[in-house]
C-alpha cells in the first residue's frame, strides 16, 4: 500500500479535533492535530503534510496569517479553511492567499472528504509536474555537460591536454570532486591524470594497473559502469588508495569507443551511496565523449610518431649515403694511386711517385678524420664522450691550434682578438680546439676568398666566457639556425666544388660544448655573414 | 681554341688509362681516354686531339689500324704509339704511315712527359735513352718527326 497521506488539523476545539481525527483515520489518512497556530507551525517546520485543515479563528493567531506562513513553508500543501460563522470576506481572502478551499462549520463530512480528495489529486499533479520539470532540467544539464566536455576535449589533439581538460570539465559540470583517468596501454592500465584527488590519494594511487583481474579489469570488459556504494564494506584491493583517505564511494565508467574499452574514468566521493542512476547515465555519456577524443589523439600521435620515425629514417638513409660517398671518394683516390704505382707498364720517376704517395697520404688523412667524426658521433649518441677538464686560458687553446687555423684560412684574413682579462675556464683543451677548428672550417667553407674571419671572446658577468667565430659569408637563414646543429644536417648553397661534409661537424661541436655545460648558437642575417657563439661556464 | 693541350689516351688496360689520365691531368693537360681503337676513332669524329697516346695491341681495332683511320680524319694529328712487343713488322708499317713516335712499354713517365712536351711544342724530338727500344727505333730510322 502506498504511503498514507498526512493531514494536519488545527483547531482550538479539542472535541472537534478528536472527532475529525477519528473520521479521517477511518478513511485511511494519517492525522495529526494541534490546538494552536504556534504548535501547528512548529510541527510543519519538522514535517511535511499533504493537507492542512485550519480553523480560521484561532486564539493565538489569525487563521489567514497562519495560512500565509504555512504556504510559505510548503507551497504545495492543500490548505482547507474552516469558518465558524459564515464570513465570505475571510473565505475569499484565504483563497487569495493560497488556500485550496473553505468549509463552513458545522462540517459536511462528505463535502470535506471530497475536497480533501480533490486537493490530493491536484497535489499529485503538481508533484508529477515538478518531477517532469526536474527531469527536463536534468536532461538539459546532461546535454550541456556532454556538449561542454565534447567541446573541451575536441579542441586539442594533444592526448594529455585532452585528458586534463576532460577531467576539469567533468568536475566543473557535475560537481564531482575527485576524478581520474586510466588509459589502456597494451595489457596494462596507465594512470593519465586526475582532478581534485586529495594529495595523499594522488601520491598513493597506482601508476599502472593489471588488466587481468580486479575491478579495473572488469570495467574494461563490460559496457556499463561499476558502482561501489560503500568502500568500507567492499573488498576491492585496487581501491584501497581511495578508502585509506576517507573516500567512501566509487564509480568506475569504461571509456568506450566502437565497442572497445580504451580506459576507465574513476570517480570517488566522500559519502556512501552517492551515485544515482541519473549520475551514471551522464557519466557514461561523458565516458563516450572522452573516449572519442582520446582515440582521435592516439591516432594522431601514432600518425605523427610514424611520421617522425619516417623522417628519422630518411635522415639516416641520407646520412648513410653521405657517409658511404665520403668514404668512397678518398678510398677511390687511395686505391687508384696505389694501383697506379703497381702498374707494370709504367716506370715512375721520383717526382710522379711522390705525387701519388702524397695523394694517398692526404686522402688517408681525410678518411681518418671522417672515421673520427663518426666515432665521435656514436660516442655523443651513447653519451659516452669523455671530457678531461683543466683550467685553461682561451687564448692558449687558440695559440695551440694556430697553425691548423692558419692553414685553413690561407685564402682568408683571420683575426683573433682575445682580451687578456678573460678568466680561466675549466675545459678539455683538445675538444674545445676541435670545436674552434670546426667553426673556422665552416666559416671558410661558406664565405668568399679574401673575406675576414674573426675569433673573439667576451666574459659575461664573470659567469661565462662566450667565444665567437664570425665570418662575412652567406649566413644562415633564421629557419635553419636551430636545424644546422642537428646531426646529419647539410647546409645548402655552398659553392660548387666545395667538399661536402658529413653533416656532423656542428652536431659534434654542440655535443662537446654541452658536455662542458655550455651552449652553442648562431646569430646571422643571410648575406651578411654568421656569428657562431659558444659559452663556457667560469668556475 | 682551347689553350690546354688535349691528349687522348687509348689502351685496353683500364688501370693504365687511369694512371696516365691522373698523371697528365696533374701536369695540366686536358685528358680523355678510350679503351680501344674503334672508340678512339669515334672520339676523333667528335673533336680533334693535339696528341694521341695509343697502345698498339688492343681488341676490336689495333693501334696501327686506328692510327690510319685517325690520320684520315685529322691528317695533322700527332700520334704516339706504345707497345710491349718489338713487333718489327707492325712498327715498320706504323713508321711508313707517318706515326710521330713509337715507345715501348713499360713507359718511363718522365720520358713520356718530356716527349709529350716536345711534341706539343712542335720541337724536334731527341730521344736520349739507354732503353734498348729507343736504340732499335732510332737505328733503322724508325723515329722521325
The ipTM estimated for the assembled molecules is: 0.72
Q: What is the pTM of this model?
A: 0.44
> What pLDDT is recorded for position B41?
93
Angstrom distance (rounded) from CA A215 to CA A230: 14
> Chunked in runs of 10, what are the mean pLDDT values of chain A (539 residues)?
80 91 91 92 91 89 89 90 75 84 86 91 86 78 74 74 83 79 88 88 85 85 85 85 86 87 89 76 81 82 79 73 78 87 87 88 83 79 77 92 93 94 91 94 92 93 91 91 81 51 83 91 92 92
Residues A283 and A253 sit within 8 Å (Cβ to Cβ):
yes
- How far does the CA of residue A360 sit from the closest CA of chain B (Å)? 13
- The grid cell for A161 is 591536454
> What pLDDT is recorded for position A373?
79
Q: How many CB pairs under 8 A join A and B?
A: 43
Residues of A in contact with B108 (CB under 8 A): 347, 349
Q: Identify which of A337, A339, A346 has the shortest CB distance to residue B109.
A: A346
Angstrom distance (rounded) from CA A354 to CA A371: 25
Q: Identify which of A336, A339, A348 has the shortest CB distance to residue B109.
A: A348
Angstrom distance (rounded) from CA A336 to CA A340: 6
- The 3-class secondary structure across A285-325, one letter per residue, is HHHHHHHHHHHHHHHHHHHHHHHHHHHHHHHHHHHHHHHHH
Residues of A in contact with B106 (CB under 8 A): 343-347
- How far does the CA of residue A341 sit from the closest CA of chain B (Å)? 8
- The grid cell for A385 is 664522450
> What pLDDT is recorded for position B52?
93
> What pLDDT is recorded for position A488?
67
Extract the runs of DSSP E, i.e. beta strands, from A379-423: 390-392, 413-417
**B57 in A contact zone (CB under 8 Å):** no
> What pLDDT is recorded for position A526?
87
Closest chain A CA to residue B20: A340
> What pLDDT is recorded for position A499?
52
Look at B22 and A336 and tell me if their CB atoms are within 8 Å. yes
Angstrom distance (rounded) from CA A76 to CA A8: 14
> What pLDDT is recorded for position A78?
92
Phi, psi of A132 (to 5 degrees): -60, -45
pLDDT-derived band at B131, boundaries 50, 70, 90: very low
**Selection from A393, A529, A536, A538 nearest residue A454 by Cα:** A529
> What pLDDT is recorded for position B134?
46
pLDDT-derived band at B130, boundaries 50, 70, 90: very low
> What pLDDT is recorded for position B46?
92
Residues of chain A whose C-beta is under 8 A from some C-beta in B? 336-337, 339-340, 343-349, 351-352, 355-356
Q: What is the pLDDT of residues A103-151, one digit of tens each?
A: 888 888 889 999 999 999 888 888 888 888 887 777 777 777 777 777 7
**Distant-in-sequence, close-in-space partners of A40: CB < 8 Å, separation ≥ 6:** A8, A10, A34, A52, A54, A66, A70
**Distant-in-sequence, close-in-space partners of A181: CB < 8 Å, separation ≥ 6:** A163, A166, A167, A191, A192, A193, A194, A255, A263, A264, A265, A266, A290
Residues A406 and A388 sit within 8 Å (Cβ to Cβ):
no
Best residue of A341, A346, A359 to probe chain B, by most B CBs closer than 10 Å:
A346
Best residue of B15, B103, B131 to probe chain A, by most A CBs closer than 10 Å:
B15
Taking the alpha carbons at both ends of chain B, their separation in whole angstroms is 24
Residues A50 and A7 sit within 8 Å (Cβ to Cβ):
yes
**Selection from B88, B32, B82 nearest residue B58 by Cα:** B82
> What pLDDT is recorded for position B123?
45
Angstrom distance (rounded) from CA A289 to CA A144: 13
- The grid cell for A513 is 660544448
Per-position DSSP letters for A413-470, written without gaps between them: EEEEE--TTPPPEEE-HHHHHHHHHHHHHHHHHTS-TT-EEEEEEEEETTTEEEEEEE
- How far does the CA of residue B129 sit from the closest CA of chain A (Å)? 14
CA–CA distance from A163 to each of A190, A225, A411, A489, B40 (Å)? 13, 19, 60, 36, 76
Angstrom distance (rounded) from CA A434 to CA A263: 52
Bridge partners of A522, per DSSP, are A532
> What pLDDT is recorded for position B10?
94
Residues of A in contact with B84 (CB under 8 A): 345
**Selection from A488, A372, A499 nearest residue A444 by Cα:** A499
Q: Is the peptide bond before B106 cis (omega within 30 degrees of 0)?
A: yes
Look at A345 and B107 and tell me if their CB atoms are within 8 Å. yes
Which DSSP letter does residue B20 get? Answer: H
> What pLDDT is recorded for position A8?
94
Amino acid at each position: 500500500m502506498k504511503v498514507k497521506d498526512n493531514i494536519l488539523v488545527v483547531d482550538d476545539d479539542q472535541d472537534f479535533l478528536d472527532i475529525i481525527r477519528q473520521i479521517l483515520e477511518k478513511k485511511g489518512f494519517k492525522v495529526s492535530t494541534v490546538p494552536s497556530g504556534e504548535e501547528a507551525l512548529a510541527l510543519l517546520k519538522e514535517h511535511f503534510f499533504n493537507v492542512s485543515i485550519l480553523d480560521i479563528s484561532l486564539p493565538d493567531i489569525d487563521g489567514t496569517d497562519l495560512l500565509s506562513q504555512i504556504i510559505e513553508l510548503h507551497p504545495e500543501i492543500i490548505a482547507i479553511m474552516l469558518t465558524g460563522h459564515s464570513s465570505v470576506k475571510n473565505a475569499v481572502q484565504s483563497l487569495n492567499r493560497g488556500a485550496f478551499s473553505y468549509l463552513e462549520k458545522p462540517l459536511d463530512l462528505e463535502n470535506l472528504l471530497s475536497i480533501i480528495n480533490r486537493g490530493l489529486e491536484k497535489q499529485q499533479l503538481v508533484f508529477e509536474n515538478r518531477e517532469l520539470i526536474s527531469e527536463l532540467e536534468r536532461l538539459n544539464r546532461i546535454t550541456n555537460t556532454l556538449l561542454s566536455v565534447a567541446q573541451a576535449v575536441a579542441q586539442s589533439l594533444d592526448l594529455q591536454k585532452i585528458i586534463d581538460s576532460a577531467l576539469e570539465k567533468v568536475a566543473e559540470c557535475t560537481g564531482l570532486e575527485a576524478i581520474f583517468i586510466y588509459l589502456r596501454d597494451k595489457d596494462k592500465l596507465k594512470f593519465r591524470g586526475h582532478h581534485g584527488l586529495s594529495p595523499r590519494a594522488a601520491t598513493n594511487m597506482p601508476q599502472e594497473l593489471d588488466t587481468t583481474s580486479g575491478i579495473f579489469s572488469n570495467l574494461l570488459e563490460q559496457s556499463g559502469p561499476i558502482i561501489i556504494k560503500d568502500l568500507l564494506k567492499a573488498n576491492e584491493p585496487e581501491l584501497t588508495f581511495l578508502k585509506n583517505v576517507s573516500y567512501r564511494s566509487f564509480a568506475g565508467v569504461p571509456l568506450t569507443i566502437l565497442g572497445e574499452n580504451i580506459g576507465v574514468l574513476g570517480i570517488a566521493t566522500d559519502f556512501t551511496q552517492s551515485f544515482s542512476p541519473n549520475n551514471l547515465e551522464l557519466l557514461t555519456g561523458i565516458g563516450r565523449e572522452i573516449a572519442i577524443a582520446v582515440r582521435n589523439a592516439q591516432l594522431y600521435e601514432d600518425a605523427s610518431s610514424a611520421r617522425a620515425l619516417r623522417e628519422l629514417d630518411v635522415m639516416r638513409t641520407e646520412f648513410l649515403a653521405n657517409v658511404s660517398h665520403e668514404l668512397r671518394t678518398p678510398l677511390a683516390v687511395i686505391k687508384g694511386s696505389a694501383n697506379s704505382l703497381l702498374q707494370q707498364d709504367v716506370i715512375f720517376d721520383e717526382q710522379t711517385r711522390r705525387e701519388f704517395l702524397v695523394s694517398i697520404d692526404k686522402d688517408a688523412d681525410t678518411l681518418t678524420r671522417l672515421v673520427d667524426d663518426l666515432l665521435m658521433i656514436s660516442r655523443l649518441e651513447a653519451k659516452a664522450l669523455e671530457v678531461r677538464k683543466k683550467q685553461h686560458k682561451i687564448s692558449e687553446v687558440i695559440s695551440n691550434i694556430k697553425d691548423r687555423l692558419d692553414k685553413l684560412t690561407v685564402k682568408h684574413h683571420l683575426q683573433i682578438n682575445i682580451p687578456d682579462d678573460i678568466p680561466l675556464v675549466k675545459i678539455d683543451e683538445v675538444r674545445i680546439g676541435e670545436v674552434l677548428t670546426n667553426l673556422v672550417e665552416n666559416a671558410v667553407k661558406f664565405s668568399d676568398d679574401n673575406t675576414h674571419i674573426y675569433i673573439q671572446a667576451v666574459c659575461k658577468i664573470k659567469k661565462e666566457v662566450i667565444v665567437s667565430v664570425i665570418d662575412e659569408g652567406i649566413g644562415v637563414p633564421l629557419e635553419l639556425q636551430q636545424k644546422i646543429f642537428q646531426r646529419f644536417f647539410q647546409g645548402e648553397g655552398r659553392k660548387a666544388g666545395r667538399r661536402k661534409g658529413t653533416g656532423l661537424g656542428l652536431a659534434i661541436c654542440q655535443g662537446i660544448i654541452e658536455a662542458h655545460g655550455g651552449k652553442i648558437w648562431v646569430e646571422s642575417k643571410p648575406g651578411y655573414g654568421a656569428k657562431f657563439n659558444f659559452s663556457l661556464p667560469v668556475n | 681554341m682551347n689553350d690546354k693541350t688535349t691528349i687522348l689516351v687509348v689502351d685496353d688496360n683500364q688501370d693504365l688509362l687511369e694512371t696516365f689520365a691522373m698523371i697528365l691531368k696533374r701536369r695540366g693537360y686536358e685528358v680523355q681516354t678510350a679503351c680501344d681503337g674503334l672508340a678512339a676513332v669515334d672520339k676523333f669524329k667528335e673533336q680533334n686531339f693535339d696528341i694521341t697516346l695509343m697502345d698498339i695491341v688492343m681488341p676490336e681495332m689495333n693501334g696501327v689500324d686506328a692510327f690510319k683511320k685517325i690520320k684520315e680524319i685529322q691528317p695533322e694529328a700527332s700520334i704516339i704509339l706504345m707497345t710491349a712487343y718489338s713487333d718489327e713488322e707492325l712498327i715498320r708499317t706504323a713508321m711508313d704511315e707517318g706515326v710521330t713516335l713509337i715507345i715501348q712499354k713499360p713507359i718511363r713517365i718522365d720520358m713520356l712527359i718530356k716527349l709529350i712536351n716536345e711534341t706539343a711544342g712542335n720541337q724536334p724530338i731527341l730521344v736520349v735513352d739507354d732503353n734498348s727500344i729507343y736504340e732499335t727505333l732510332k737505328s733503322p730510322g724508325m723515329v722521325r718527326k
